[in-house]
Amino acid sequence: MESKMAITASEVNKLRQQTGAGMMDCKKALEEANGDFEQAIDFLRKKGQKVAANRQDRDAKEGLVIARVSADAKHGSLVVVNCETDFVAINADFVAFANTISQISIDKKPASIEAFNTLPYNNDVTVSDKFIEQIGKIGEKIQLSYYQTVTAANVVAYNHPGNKLACIVGFTKPVSEEVAKNIAMQVAAMAPVAVDKDDVDTKTLEREMDIAREQARAEGKPEEMIEKIAQGKLNKFYKESTLLNQEFIKDNKMDIRKYLQSIDKDLTVTAFKRYQLS
């Protein structure tokens, strides 16, 4: 039977520095690979794949939400990297990993999560492989669960302290830091479902109208009044749930549309993305 070569502590430490895996895992990987670092890394990655497969049924509801914009402020991304526990979410290595994923989204502008996963994380592993590696290292299910972008004349980002809530907002033209903060905070605090009335999807409108009709009937309203009442409730929904029609949280005498027009008559919001960990 072929004996395994002796592995030195410095070799174990070198592999540990490269991969972040545990000391004993690194020692075993090097022994299995007869000291070959590339094979040892592959061994650890396979271990990660095994850990990943074993944890598919686990809920990964903790993690970090990160909003970021490009240097020219014309492109923004919102990514969510999930894990299972808050203990991992606040770990410095996990935070650094999530921020690297966020930066890749800005640098490479992938079209989807699927495309994102095939991108290079560094010179020798893909984003997907790096996630598997992290699962093997940390022992928790970790995944890129959400990725959205906004491209506009000016894009701003807001990251709420703790990185459980973040948003990106696109404008028709460059805005001051104050305006950027005011609108981003509005989106973060008031959670609009769309920019304007016409942007609300049909399914949401139908659901709101159905709820309004049932409420009116439950209140004993005459059937011939149901549609009119439902329409009134829908108008209230628009005011509460579409960004440009919401009351400005800093001045409830005006809505967001009027606030933006008070800055510049041609200024408006083109798009936004918001995510909050539940």
pLDDT digits (tens, 9 = 90+) for 162-179: 999 999 999 999 999 999
Do 43 and 67 lie in one domain? The reply is: no
Do 80 and 134 lie in one domain? The reply is: yes
Strand partners for 251: 248
pLDDT at 74 over 90: yes
Count CB atoms within 10 A of the CB of residue 114.
10
Do 226 and 260 lie in one domain? The reply is: yes
Do 66 and 47 lie in one domain? The reply is: no
In Å, how far are 39, 90, 196 from 133, measured between CA atoms? 14, 19, 43
Task: Convert the chain into a string of H (helix), E (strand) and C (coil).
Answer: CCCCCCCCHHHHHHHHHHHCCCHHHHHHHHHHCCCCHHHHHHHHHHHHHHHHHHCCCCCCCEEEEEEEECCCCCEEEEEEEEECCHHHHCCHHHHHHHHHHHHHHHHHCCCCHHHHHHCECCCCCEHHHHHHHHHHHHCCCCEEEEEEEEECCEEEEEECCCCCEEEEEEECCCCCHHHHHHHHHHHHHHCCCECCHHHCCHHHHHHHHHHHHHHHHHCCCCHHHHHHHHHHHHHHHHHHHEHHHCEECCEEEEEHHHHHHHHCCCCCEEEEEEEECC
Do 77 and 163 lie in one domain? The reply is: yes
Kindly give, in sequence order, each residue whose CB lies less than 8 Å from that of residue 120, ignoring residues fewer than 6 positions away.
126, 127
Count CB atoms within 10 A of the CB of residue 61.
13
CATH of the domain at 160: 3.30.479.20
Let me know: does 179 contact 105? Beta carbons within 8 Å.
no
Do 115 and 24 lie in one domain? The reply is: no
Which tokens hold the place of 115? 């495309």
204, part of any domain: yes
226, part of any domain: yes
Q: In the predicted model, what is the mean pLDDT of residues 74-102? A: 96
Q: In the predicted model, what is the mean pLDDT of residues 226-239? A: 94
Could you tell me the pTM of the whole model? Answer: 0.81
Domain span holding position 160: 62-190
> What pLDDT is stored for residue 259 in this prediction?
98
Give tens-digit pLDDT for 13-28.
888 877 777 788 889 9
pLDDT at 188 over 70: yes
pLDDT at 52 over 90: no
Share of the chain above pLDDT 70, in %: 95
CATH of the domain at 23: 1.10.8.10
If one counts the domains in the chain, the total is 3
Of 178-192, 199-213, 254-268, give the lowest mean pLDDT range: 199-213
Do 183 and 221 lie in one domain? The reply is: no
194: left (phi over 0), alpha (psi -120 to 50) or beta: beta
Give dist(CA 230, CA 214) in Å, integer.
9
> What pLDDT is stored for residue 1 in this prediction?
41
